[in-house]
Amino acid sequence: MTAPTLTGALELRRVNAGYGKVAVLHDVDLVVPDGGILALLGPNGAGKSTLLRVASGRTQPTSGTVVLRGQDVTGRSPERLARTGLCSVPEGRAVFPNLSVTDNLRMWTYRPGLSRKDVEERAFARFPRLKDRRRQLAGRLSGGEQQMLAMSRALTANPDVLLLDEISMGLAPVVAAELFSLVRQIADSGTPVLLVEQFARTALEIADTVAVMSQGRIRVTGSPDEVRDRVLETYLHADTAHARQDPAPS
Amino acid sequence: MSTLLALTVAGLVTGCIYALTASGLVLTYTTSGIFNFAHGAIGMIAAFFYWQLIEWGVPTLPAFLLAVLVLSPLMGVVVERIMIRRLGNASLEVTLTVTVGLLLLLIAIANTVWDPLTARRVQPFFGSHQVTVGGVILSYHQLVVIAAAVVVPLALWAFLRQARTGVALRAVVDDRELAALTGASPSTVGMIGWAMGAALAGLAGVLLVSQVELNAITLTLLVINGYAAAVMGRLSNLPLTIAGGLLLGVLQSLAIGYVTISWLNQVQTSIPMVFLFVALLIAPPTRLRVGQLAPLLAPRVPSARRSLQSALVFLAIAALVTAILPAGQVASVTHGVAIAIILLSLVPMVGYGSMVSLCQLTFAGIGCVAMAKTGGSVLGLVVAVLAPAAVGLLIALPTMRLRGLYLSLATLAFGYAMDDNFFSNSSVMTQTLGLPVPRPLGIDGPRPYLLFVTAAFTVCALGVLALRRSTFGRRLVALGDSPAGCATIGMGIRSTKLGIFALSAGLAGLGGALMGGQEGVVGYTDFPLLLSLTLLLMAVVWGVRTISGVLLAALFFELIPHLNGQLGPVGNSVLSLLVGLGAVGLGKNQNGIVGTLLQKTSGLTKLPSLPHPRRAADQGDQPVREEVLTGAQS
C-alpha cells in the first residue's frame, strides 16, 4: 500500500497560510507518523486550528505542500480529502444539530465503502446510548453524547489519518477522560491521530509524539517526556521572543 | 351552500398551486440561505416555454415534462452556478438585489421573446373534460393540480428523509463546512436544491398558465403569492407551508365570492399580501442572533466641514450644468435628481441600518399624492414629508420585532397592497386623467425648478450625513451590525427603528412630491412596486452606503430609457443585471461600484480581513430549530 520511503501518514511541508493579509502559519513542517497519536499543543492563537484547516482542505496554503499517504493533495477540496480517507473532526460539536442521530450517521456514509448498516452497527455497538436516542435531534443530545456521535464518524470511517480539534472543549472532566481513552483505542487499532489541544496535561499523557506551536511556528517536537518540561517554557518563550523583536533602544 | 362549497374547492385548487411554488421557495431558501425573489419569474418563464412548445405542436405531456423537468431545473442550476455561488456570506441587501435583478431580467427576457401585446391562451390539460364530485364540478385539469399537490410534497418528503442526498441537503443547511468534511459536496448539494426549487416553480407556472392570462408580470406576481405561504411555514417547515398555501387559496377564493365592497375594489387581489403581512406578524419572534463580525469595509463618513465643502462644490457645478444643459434634457435631469432624493432615503435605512425596504416608491407616491391634495405651498411640502412619515410609523409599529428578510417582506406586502388599493383607487386619482401635481412654492420654469430640486437634494444629503455622525446614526449602525449587541448594552431599538422608518419614508415622500412637481400629472402606474425594486437594485449596485453612490444610481437610472432606444426593450434589465453582477463579482465588494472606487483610493475604514470561522462559536447556544423541512419530531 504505502511506498517504503514514507515516514508519515500526513505531512505538511514548508506550509505558509493565513487569512487575507494576516499570515498565520510560517514555514510549518509537520509529519504525522504512520501510527500513534501526535499531540499538537500551543497557546491561544498559535495557529493550531489554522494548521488543521490547511490539512483538511478548508483553508488553502499560500505556499507549501500537503502530502497524504505520499500523494500531494495540496489544493484539494475538503470533500475530496474526506472521501480519500482524511477524517477531520472540527472544533466544537462536530454534528448536525438539526438532524436526527440516524440522519447524522447517514452523513458518515459519504466515506466510500460504508453502507448505512455498517455505520449504524459500528456506532451503536460502541455507543449504545446513541441507539436509544437515534430518533432525537443531535442538537438535543448532551454535550458528551454529541461528541460520541461526532467520534462515531472517526470510528466507522477507518480513516488514513484522523484530525481532532479540541474535542474536550466544554466537556465535564469525566467525559473528556472517556473521550481521550477512546482516542487512544482508535490509535492503538492502527489509525494515526493528530490531536490538537490547548490544555497540555491530558494530551501529554496519551500522546506518543508531541509538537508545540507558537506564533505560527512549530517550536519543539519530541516524545512527551522530552517535551514535558519545555512546554511551559515554549509558551512563555514565545512571548519573550516577541518582546525581543520589538524595537528597543540598545 | 353549494356556492360556498364550489368556492372552497376552487380555492383549494389555487391553494395547491401556491403550496407547490411555496415548497420550492422553502427548498431553495433552506439549502442556500438565499430568498429567491426570482422564484416567480422562473415559473413564469417555464409557463411561457410550455405555451411555446404547445404552439409548435408538441403534445401536452412532452411539453409539460420539458418545461418542468428540463428547462426549470436547468434555470435553477445556471442561476446557482452563475449568481448564487458567488454570494457566499453576502449581506441581505446584496442577496436581495441579485435575485431582484434576476427577476427583472427574466421579465425582460419574456417580454422580448414573447411580445406582451399579443394575447395568448393555453388549453387546460385534457381540454374541457370534467367530473362532478359531490355536486362540485371539477375539471380534469383541477384534478391534475390536486394530484400534483398531493404527490409532489410526499415525494419531496420521502426524498429529504430517505435519500442520502436529501439528508445531505438538510445537513448543508445545518453546517456547510461539516458537510464538506464528511465528504458531501456542498456546492453539488446546493445546485440540486436550486434545481428542485426551480422545478417546483416551473410546475406551479405550468399548472397556472391555462387558468390566467399569459402575461409576464401577472404570472410572476401570482407565483409571488406563494411567498405568503412560505412565510407561514417560517421558510423552513414544509407541512406548514403547504397548509398555508391551501388556506391562502381558500381565503382568496371566498373573498372573491363574498367581499363586494366597492371602495376596496381590489381587495381580492391583495389578499395574499394581507395574508403575508398577518403571517409575518403572528410568526413567533426571531431570536436575536449573536452578531457575526462581517469583514465589511464601511465607507468613511466625511466630517461636517468636508461634506459642506463638497456640497458647495457640487452646487456650483450643478448651477453651471443647469445653465448650459440643452433645453430638451432639463426635464429628464430634474426627474433624475428627484429620484436621487428618493434613493437618498435608502441610505440611512438600508445603507446604515441594514433594513431593506422594498416599498420606497410607495412612500414617494404617498408624498406626491399628499402634496397634490394640499397644494404646492410650504404647507404642501410639509405634508408631503409628514404624511408618508406617519405611514412609515404605522408600518414600523407592527413590524417592530421583524428583522432582516421578514422586515423586507413586510414592506413588500405593504407596497403591493398599496399598489392595488391606494394608487388605483378612483378617490385618490382618476384613472383616465391622473392626478395633477403643482410645482411646490410656485417655482416656475424648468431651469429654476431643476436648481430648486438640486438644492433640496444637497440639503437632504447634508442632513443624512449629519444624521450618520449623530448619536442616532451610531445607534442605527449598531442596530444594523448586531441587534443582540444593542440589547446587551441596554440600547432600546424601538425609538431607533420608529425614527428611521419615519425619517426614511418622509424623505422618500419629499422626493416623490418633487418628482410629481416635475411631471405635472401622475397616474396610478407611476409608483409600481416593481419600480421600487428596480430603484433598490440601482442604489445597491452603485453603493447604497454613500451619497455619491445613490446620486450616480439615480442619474444612471434616468439614462436607461435613452440607452434603451439603442439596445431595444431588453436593454433595460440586461444593463441593470450586468451592473448588478459586475458589482457583486467585483471582489464581492458590498459597497457597490462607488465603494469599489473608494477602496481603490482608500476612502474606506480599514478592517483586517478575518477568517470566516465555522459557526462553531454560536452553535453551542444556537437554539435547535424544529426539524428543517420535514417538520417531524421535536
pLDDT exceeds 60 at position B289: no
pLDDT in the model for residue A236: 64
Determine, for residues A19 and B611 on separate chains, whether the beta-carbon distance falls below 8 Å.
Answer: yes
Facing residue for B174 by CB, picked from A20, A92, A97: A97
Alpha helices in chain A (DSSP H): 48-55, 78-84, 101-108, 116-126, 128-132, 143-157, 173-188, 200-206, 224-245
C-alpha torsion A132→A135→A141→A147, nearest 10: 80
Structure confidence by residue, pLDDT tens digits, A181-229: 999 999 999 999 999 987 778 888 889 999 998 889 998 888 888 888 7
pLDDT in the model for residue B607: 44
Of the pLDDT bands very low, low, confident and very high (cuts 50, 70, 90), residue B263 is low
Instruction: Give how far the C-alpha of residue B179 lies from the chain's centroid of Cα atoms, to the nearest Å.
Output: 31
Determine, for residues A110 and B182 on separate chains, whether the beta-carbon distance falls below 8 Å.
Answer: yes
Report the C-alpha gap between B553 and B535 in whole angstroms.
Answer: 8
Residue with cell 442632513: B463
**Exposure on the CB side of residue B620, measured as CA atoms within 13 A:** 10
DSSP 8-state assignment for residue A139: G
Structure confidence by residue, pLDDT tens digits, B315-363: 999 999 999 988 888 888 999 999 999 999 999 999 888 888 999 999 9
Q: Which domains does chain B have, with CATH numbers?
A: 2-282 (1.10.3470), 297-619 (1.10.3470)
Q: Is B178 in the A-facing interface, judged by CB distances under 8 Å?
A: yes
Number of H-type helices and E-type strands within chain A:
9, 10
Report the C-alpha gap between A196 and A202 in whole angstroms.
Answer: 11
Structure confidence by residue, pLDDT tens digits, A27-60: 999 999 998 999 999 888 888 989 999 999 999 9
Determine, for residues A98 and B177 on separate chains, whether the beta-carbon distance falls below 8 Å.
Answer: no
Q: Is B581 in the A-facing interface, judged by CB distances under 8 Å?
A: no
Q: Is B294 in the A-facing interface, judged by CB distances under 8 Å?
A: no
> If you average pLDDT over residues B513-520, what whole number do you get?
91
Q: Is B134 in the A-facing interface, judged by CB distances under 8 Å?
A: no
Written as one letter, the residue type at B378 is V
**Chain A neighbors of B624, CB-CB under 8 A:** 97-98, 137, 139-140
Facing residue for B619 by CB, picked from A20, A92, A100: A92
pLDDT exceeds 50 at position B618: no
**Chain B neighbors of A89, CB-CB under 8 A:** 181
Report the C-alpha gap between B421 and B496 in whole angstroms.
Answer: 30
**Chain A neighbors of B178, CB-CB under 8 A:** 90, 94-96
Helix (H) or strand (E) holding B211: none
Please give, rounded to a whole number of angstroms, the shortest distance from the CA of A206 to a CA of chain B: 25
Tell me the residue length of chain B.
Answer: 634
**Exposure on the CB side of residue A228, measured as CA atoms within 13 A:** 11
pTM (2 d.p.): 0.83
pLDDT exceeds 80 at position B405: yes
Task: Find the closest chain B residue to A86 by CA distance.
Answer: B181
Determine, for residues A139 and B624 on separate chains, whether the beta-carbon distance falls below 8 Å.
Answer: yes
pLDDT exceeds 90 at position B93: no
Name which of B236, B228, B324 is nearest B14 in CA terms: B228
Please give, rounded to a whole number of angstroms, the shortest distance from the CA of A156 to a CA of chain B: 12
pLDDT exceeds 60 at position B587: no
Tell me the residue length of chain A.
Answer: 250
Instruction: Give how far the C-alpha of residue A236 lies from the chain's centroid of Cα atoms, to the nearest Å.
Output: 24
pLDDT in the model for residue B170: 87
Work out the number of other CB atoms within 10 angstroms of the CB of residue B412. 26
**Chain A neighbors of B174, CB-CB under 8 A:** 96-99
With beta carbons less than 8 A apart as the criterion, state whether A50 and A59 touch.
Answer: yes
Burial class (CB within 10 angstroms; exposed 0-12, middle 13-18, buried 19+) of B270:
buried
Determine, for residues B611 and A82 on separate chains, whether the beta-carbon distance falls below 8 Å.
Answer: no
Q: Is B144 in the A-facing interface, judged by CB distances under 8 Å?
A: no
Please give, rounded to a whole number of angstroms, the shortest distance from the CA of A67 to a CA of chain B: 17
Helix B2-32 with B140-162: angle, nearest 10 deg? 30
Structure confidence by residue, pLDDT tens digits, B67-83: 999 999 999 999 888 88
